[in-house]
């Protein structure tokens, strides 16, 4: 029996097998996802994250996250409160914004596990290269929306599973910590199902407004 979509719970179709992982695509929201039975253990996932380049002063790394930091800088002022959700071992979003005088908290289930920050509300939440790691994306997005103040913005960056992508050759699936891939219709589903006021998708950058 094929697994249901972790986002919209709809039936799925087989898509591809890469090494030991099977992938499926949702019949409704068009997302692609790895078989949940193939997910890494907590320890293996943590080890994989530690392999990343986490130098917050690296010029290339800063350029990579610029779509997220620019969105914050262009829409919010230093007195607004933000959350760097999934900050990782090198919280570059936090570092760049703090250099401009912004106030931002950090949360990461592996490297900055501070449950108390999840009980507050924020003007903006940044999720840079995070949402593709969600094992239960519906639950995660419900939680993220609940942490936004009215009019607040959830700003995400991830590779999108566009229609013209050859999944078998797509590099983004090869990272074993990447388990969920969003199609443009997935973004529309999140906006409508969770009651966001508005959403926008531009290349790799997504934002939702409460």
pLDDT tens digits, 125-146:
999 999 999 999 999 999 999 9
Which are the contacts of 92, defined by CB distance < 8 A and separation ≥ 6?
A: 54, 56, 61, 62, 65, 128
Q: Which residues are bridge partners to 115 per DSSP?
A: none
Mean pLDDT over 18-39 rounds to 95
Tell me the per-residue pLDDT of 17-26, one tens digit each, with 9 for 90 and over. Answer: 999 899 999 9
Tell me what the mean pLDDT of segment 187-208 comes to: 97
Residue 145 contacts residue 194 (beta carbons within 8 Å): yes
Residue 45 near residue 178, CB atoms below 8 Å: no
Average pLDDT score over the chain? 95
Residue boundaries of the structural domains of the chain: 12-209
CATH (one of 3.40.50.150, 3.30.390.50, 1.10.3720.10, 3.20.20.140) for 12-209: 3.40.50.150
Least confident of 56-65, 70-79, 133-142: 56-65
Q: What pLDDT does residue 116 have?
A: 97
Adjacent-strand bridge partners of 122: 148
| This prediction's pTM | 0.94
- The rounded distance, in Å, linking the Cα atoms of 121 and 198 is 19
For residues 130 and 156, the answer to whether their CB atoms sit within 8 Å is yes
For residue 18, give both structure tokens.
Answer: 């890469």
pLDDT(202) > 90: yes
Pick the closest to residue 149 from 210, 106, 79 (CA basis).
210
- Radius of gyration for the alpha carbons in the chain, expressed in angstroms and rounded: 17
């Amino acid at each position: 029996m094929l697994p249901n979509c972790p986002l919209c719970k709809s039936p799925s179709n087989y898509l591809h097998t890469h090494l030991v992982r099977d992938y499926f695509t949702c019949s409704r929201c068009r997302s692609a996802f790895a078989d949940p039975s193939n997910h890494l253990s907590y320890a293996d996932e943590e080890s994989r994250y530690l392999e990343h380049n986490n130098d917050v002063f690296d010029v290339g790394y800063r350029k990579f996250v610029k779509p997220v930091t620019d969105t914050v800088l262009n829409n919010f002022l230093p007195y607004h409160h933000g959350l760097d959700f999934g900050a990782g071992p090198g919280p570059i979003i936090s570092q760049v914004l703090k250099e401009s005088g912004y106030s931002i908290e950090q949360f990461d289930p592996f490297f900055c596990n501070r449950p108390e920050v999840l009980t507050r509300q924020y003007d903006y939440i940044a999720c840079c290269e995070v949402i593709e790691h969600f094992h239960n994306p519906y639950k995660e997005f419900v939680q993220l929306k609940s942490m936004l103040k009215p009019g607040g913005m959830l700003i995400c960056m991830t590779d999108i599973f566009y229609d013209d992508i050859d999944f078998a050759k797509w590099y983004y699936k090869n990272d074993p910590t990447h388990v969920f891939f969003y199609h443009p219709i997935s973004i529309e589903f999140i906006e409508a199902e969770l009651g966001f006021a508005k959403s926008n998708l531009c290349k790799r950058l997504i934002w939702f407004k409460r």
